[in-house]
Chain A
């Protein structure tokens, strides 16, 4: 396949809007190829979009669907010769997820939170999502085995457990959500900060985070720890964010990447002592990121309208439900986690929501290096992913931001600095924040760029970067981004102007990390006891079987150990 004459933005390879032809053969980018020609003359061409933080599969996503037929009935599309039927807006069915990502030019999305015990369910759903490549991050932050290894300061056993857990879950990386809080929630409590001990376990969230970060680097995992801070969503929580980031600054990375990726930074950049004096602390957070290189973030942008909040931060969800008097689902997972789901509507005239809206944008605009900030909405917590074009246009257009600001609660200018920010992102920034950076942050070598050997994932938009004024023509830009002119996934033309042409299955990435057998042996003594006494299932039935990943892509990592020692 040949993509002819596009204006190519491939920042990972130093291409910033160059007119050139691209070649794809057998699903990969190559230097020369023959075959079908796609006419992209003068049009914006980027690598396929990569979403590094989205809630697309598993128990809590399905719980969102089951409790929200009101959401499912929106966005109903009948089946076609190519497509299964679509439903839903904030919690679409599996098929709609694949089609809607592909229509926007996205070809990869990672599920951000899966408990090991329920990973089988996550993979059942991931496999049903067509077209895009996927992966799932595995939850470790309130896990009994993790906390006990941290308490005993047994780092090598902890690393062995992380490797074992990733293998059992067929997971891609280490996710930590409100560390320790999920365990405390087992008896209806929470942890108040990173130094507040977890009840019954004699460890602090700070120790859990440090232990997992060190284990992550010991194992040389492609991705860093992926952290949802303590105190997310609360006024004044920016101090927790800064304290936590500072903890990690001296850890040595095992790869050329960050030490910590911060999930949905927007929800952790708040000042004030209550909802009454609630304000943005995005400038302070952005300063920290500008002065340090060990952390990256995704925005977690909030947009007005309907959302469904879902997170392993269960106490946060109980608070949300009580505050908004909305329906509430909770799901605690024995020995491992908690989670919750609450529907939400964000209003422009509600000061808290309007400030939250501004905070996300401020973060993305005030952090100078676009490689440190990913464009996300923490789908579907801040807004469903179909609204990414709205976020991108807000980042590219000061006039659009001003027009929006004029419709918000009148106090917003006093609580935020957004009105004074002149910066408008360009296509290079956007290509980084939606393609190159998420791939690099996740450690996906073949994603987010168009160099030879990369996956043949290309998005072509009906926009002429050399003509369109992104600052003024934001409506045009938004429309073009919503439905790519062409989306190519693995060398297959899957979507054209919003119409799905093909729906091949996507792959699922997972990480198999090697550790010394001696550490695994020590670990298994602990685990066998836990299964005998505490888990409600047998260890033999715990790990995800290969049958659930018929399109697996295994990434090897781990300690340099002789082959025969690999567990």
Chain B
């Protein structure tokens, strides 16, 4: 195994784009080479070592063997782990927007919270967030038909609005609440929300959305039966009927 630590030298006011910080990009490089990779801060292209301190095992290694630990304030650092296919990225703290964009494999774990568009267009692998996630978790890019297509996301806290928008596969599990329009245009993925949400499953055509506590349900969903899951009662709905959707929405009944 190869383990390296990247520490942020400061808290960044102007956000940093660091799509190079992924196991795929760093595994084949030595510590020195890693330091000379480019990152962007606004319109300034900088060396990674200008903004971060890189330490740990020297390379090269395979992507699978690679673990990257991020320490310090990464809350304004975007695109961490973009396109990663294997290995581990462990953020000790919070992470900026677009972490795990287009992720294909490996593990991205975040001990704090994640900003918007975490795991945008994810295809595989696993993302775990101990804190909260922002808007558009597991969603797509503007105008695209598909967001996340595969993989697994778990958020121990809450998630923002438009969770899993255009979901085409994979599963998302939120232990807390989710914002408005969770699972909009779901086309075959699975979403579990431990808390409450508002207007879930708008225009969903396939897939399942389970809301353990409360949800305001759209007038275009057909109320069907009460089902028991793990000893709890859920009201089942079919929809979204505006588009003749065949999705399944389950909302907890009387749980507290």
Contact = CB atoms under 8 A, between A and B. Distances in A.
Q: A contacts B directly in the complex (CB < 8 Å)?
A: yes
Interface of A: 67-71, 73
A70 B145 CA distance: 9
7 contacts: A67-B143, A69-B142, A69-B143, A70-B142, A70-B143, A70-B145, A73-B141
Contacts of B144: 70
Q: Is the interface of B mostly helix, strand, loop or mixed?
A: loop
Nearest to A345: B145
Nearest to A66: B143
Closest 4 CB pairs of A and B: A70-B143, A69-B143, A69-B142, A70-B144
Interface residues of B, number: 5
Q: Is the interface of A mostly helix, strand, loop or mixed?
A: helix
Interface in B203-240: none
A365 to B, nearest CB: 35
Contacts of A68: 143
A358 B145 CA distance: 28
A320 to B, nearest CB: 16
A67 B142 CA distance: 9
B139 to A, nearest CB: 13
Interface in B112-155: 141-145
A444 B144 CA distance: 41
Contacts of B142: 69-70
Contacts of B143: 67-71
B165 to A, nearest CB: 14
Interface centre among B141, B142, B143, B145 (most CB of A within 10 A): B143
B92 to A, nearest CB: 32
B152 to A, nearest CB: 25
Given A68-B143, A70-B143, 10 more contacts: A67-B143, A69-B141, A69-B142, A69-B143, A70-B141, A70-B142, A70-B144, A70-B145, A71-B143, A73-B141
Nearest to B205: A325
A65 to B, nearest CB: 10
A535 B142 CA distance: 36
A345 to B, nearest CB: 10
A71 B143 CA distance: 8
A194 B144 CA distance: 39
Contacts of B141: 69-70, 73
B219 to A, nearest CB: 22
Contacts of A70: 141-145
B51 to A, nearest CB: 21
A73 B143 CA distance: 10
Nearest to B146: A70
A180 to B, nearest CB: 33
Nearest to A73: B141
A68 B143 CA distance: 6
Contacts of A71: 143
A69 B142 CA distance: 6
B93 to A, nearest CB: 30
Nearest to B144: A70
A69 B140 CA distance: 12
A70 B147 CA distance: 12
Contacts of A67: 143
Nearest to B140: A70
Nearest to A326: B145
Interface string B75-94: 00000000000000000000
A40 B206 CA distance: 59
A153 to B, nearest CB: 49
A525 to B, nearest CB: 48
B180 to A, nearest CB: 22
A43 to B, nearest CB: 38
Contacts of B145: 70
Nearest to B145: A70
A70 B141 CA distance: 7
A304 B142 CA distance: 24
Interface in B3-45: none
A557 to B, nearest CB: 43
B45 to A, nearest CB: 11
A73 B141 CA distance: 10
A257 B141 CA distance: 49
Interface string B240-252: 0000000000000
B107 to A, nearest CB: 27
A69 B144 CA distance: 8
A71 B141 CA distance: 11
B84 to A, nearest CB: 20
A73 B101 CA distance: 15
A467 to B, nearest CB: 41
Contacts of A73: 141
A214 to B, nearest CB: 45
B149 to A, nearest CB: 15
B140 to A, nearest CB: 8
Contacts of A69: 141-143
B103 to A, nearest CB: 18
Interface in B172-200: none
A34 to B, nearest CB: 44
A67 B141 CA distance: 13
Nearest to A327: B143
A346 to B, nearest CB: 16
A186 B142 CA distance: 31
Interface centre among A69, A70, A71, A73 (most CB of B within 10 A): A70
A68 B141 CA distance: 11
Nearest to A325: B243
A70 B142 CA distance: 6
Nearest to B243: A325
Nearest to B142: A69
A71 B142 CA distance: 10
A307 to B, nearest CB: 15
A340 B144 CA distance: 19
